[in-house]
Amino acid sequence: MAKKKGKILVVDDNAGIRSALKILLPMHFAQVELLPSPNALVSRLADYRPDVVLLDMNFHTDINTGNEGLYWLSEVKKRCPDVEVVLFTAYADIALAVEGMKRGAFDFIVKPWENEKLLAVLKAAYGQRSKTLGTSQTPQKQDSAAMIWGSGAQMTAVRRTVEKIAPTDATVLITGENGTGKDVLAREIHRLSDRALKPMVCVDAGALTETLFESELFGHVKGAFTDAHADHVGKFQEADGGTLFLDEIGNIPLHLQAKLLRALQNRAIMRVGDNRSIPVDIRLICATNKDLERMVRSGEFREDLYYRINTMHIHLPALRERTDEIMPLADMFVRKYSERYRREVTGISENAASVLKTYRWSGNIRELQNCIEKAVILADGQELTASDIQLSPAPASPEYERTDVEETLEMAEERAIRSAMTRFGGNLSMVAKSLDISRPTLYSKLKKYNI
């Protein structure tokens, strides 16, 4: 008999389903663990290290939209991108299946299930996981997204700068419009640095509320506040010896900037509820789409913090200024999503390429990626055609462009929702109650912000 392989983690609140899977799955896989709730999912990912997670999409009897499953799917892929996730739902909703797969799910199983189908999907997911592990480089060296260097003068200059500063520990500030790949460039700097084998910890600094700011960045000790049931290691300590990437640093409120400055100046942190100073060794990279110099002049950003994070400044041009990168990026996204969605799309036709190269891409690389993803899902042939490319119509005139005020309000709303999701562990009822909105309104906001 062939040796059983694979570690499966099942998360489902239905005791009958867990009992059935407890009998079925151990006959085919080396290890199986079952959780009745996703609340312990994150900690079990670290301790149990599963190959595949079979994840239910609803954990409350009065909520059956699947948004809880999508939230926990995102948490799994964020923390363990190589772990395959199979979604488990009683509602045969194709749109939800596509949304789950867009967020990184391997496949989708509908309850009641057929044992042969379930086992086939789990074995395929384990096979994909094994293939990924077998062909990967050292995890810290593996790129989550490849940096594509164009041949234009601006990106050639950026590349030369990166090659010079990456081996140093110089603090780097990356600026540019949303979607230009600031996070990818930060990972490239880390990859080329002497810290490449150490962790790179990424933080959306603007999404941290005042109550979570110190706890998330610096950590807290048990009993420091009402919900502090255990010691918590902050992002600074997680990044010790490696790189700390603070994204959207321009969104940190002025009154919290002093706390960040103190930690950067001292290269030491103090956990909430503790009186001991803990030294940290980090390389700092920050990114923003804001004009920090203007914010310093207007008093919205501390001048001393600005100079602390701006030892080296790299500006990423918009994609419309890097047109030579459009097709290499598009080809990369075709390969990525053809593999993810198991499509047979292998290329881009000349007419589709012409459409891509002449479009303005106001959303930059992120918009291009989303466009190619949808095209791969909907394509009928092996080549993407112009009819597969769905583009947003360009605004008729500048007055229809989104204003900074509107963008700021939306960003504040998104930060509040993400913070509540973290605070209440993805419990949508509690999140909606804390934000004083209805559950249907919350669901539409989660979809809007891709949370």
pLDDT in tens, 222-235: 887 777 778 888 99
Of 235, 146, 236, which Cα lies nearest the Cα of 185?
146
For 404-448, CATH gives 1.10.10
b/e 2-16 (16+ beta carbons within 10 angstroms → b): eeeebbbbbbbebee
Q: What percent of the chain has pLDDT over 90?
A: 46
Of 2-16, 223-237, 316-330, 427-441, where does mean pLDDT reach its minimum? Answer: 427-441
Identify the pLDDT of residue 364.
93
CA distance 2 to 451: 41
Same fold yes or no, 7-136 and 153-317 = yes
Three-class secondary structure of residue 399 per DSSP: helix
Residues with Cβ within 8 Å of residue 441, at least 6 apart in sequence: 432
Pick the range with the lowest mean pLDDT from 29-38, 83-92, 144-153, 259-268: 144-153
Q: Which CATH architecture has domain 7-136?
A: 3-Layer(aba) Sandwich (3.40)
pLDDT of 401: 39
The fold adopted by the segment(s) 153-317 is Rossmann fold (3.40.50)
SS (H, E, C) 189-222: HHHCCCCCCCCEEEEEHHHCCHHHHHHHHHEECC
Could you report the per-residue pLDDT of 6-35, keeping only the tens digit for each?
999 999 988 899 999 999 999 999 899 999
Q: How far apart are CA 442 and CA 192, in angstroms?
A: 41
**Hey, is 72 helix, strand or coil?**
helix
- The whole-number average pLDDT for the span 237-266 is 93
Rounded distance, CA 78 to CA 72, Å? 10
pLDDT at 394 over 60: no
* Closest C-alpha to 432, from 2, 62, 133, 14: 62
The C-alpha atoms of residue 39 and residue 136 are separated, in whole angstroms, by 30
* pLDDT of the residue at 409: 66
Q: What is the pLDDT of residue 145?
A: 55
Whether the pLDDT of residue 442 is over 90: the answer is no
Please determine, for residue 269, whether its predicted confidence score (pLDDT) is greater than 80: yes
Looking at residue 258, what is its pLDDT?
Answer: 93
Q: Distance (Å, rounded) from C-alpha 286 to C-alpha 134? A: 33
- Residue 129 banded pLDDT, cuts 50, 70, 90: confident
Q: Please determine, for residue 104, whether its predicted confidence score (pLDDT) is greater than 70.
A: yes
- pLDDT value of residue 340: 87
pLDDT at residue 170 greater than cutoff 80: yes
User: 273: phi > 0 → left, psi -120 to 50 → alpha, else beta; which?
Assistant: left
Mean pLDDT of 255-263: 92
Pick left, alpha or beta for residue 248 (phi over 0 → left; psi -120 to 50 → alpha; otherwise beta). left
- The dihedral region occupied by 104, where left means phi > 0, alpha psi between -120 and 50, and beta the remainder, is left
- Domains of the chain, residue spans: 7-136, 153-317, 320-388, 404-448
Beta bridge partners of 133: none
Rg for the chain, CA atoms, rounded: 23
The pLDDT value recorded for residue 136 is 42
pLDDT at 238 over 60: yes
Rounded to a whole number of angstroms, the distance between the first and last alpha carbons of the chain is 44
Question: What CATH fold (topology level) applies to the domain 320-388?
Answer: Helicase, Ruva Protein; domain 3 (1.10.8)
CA 216 vs CA 16, 211, 212, 234: distances in Å: 38, 9, 6, 5
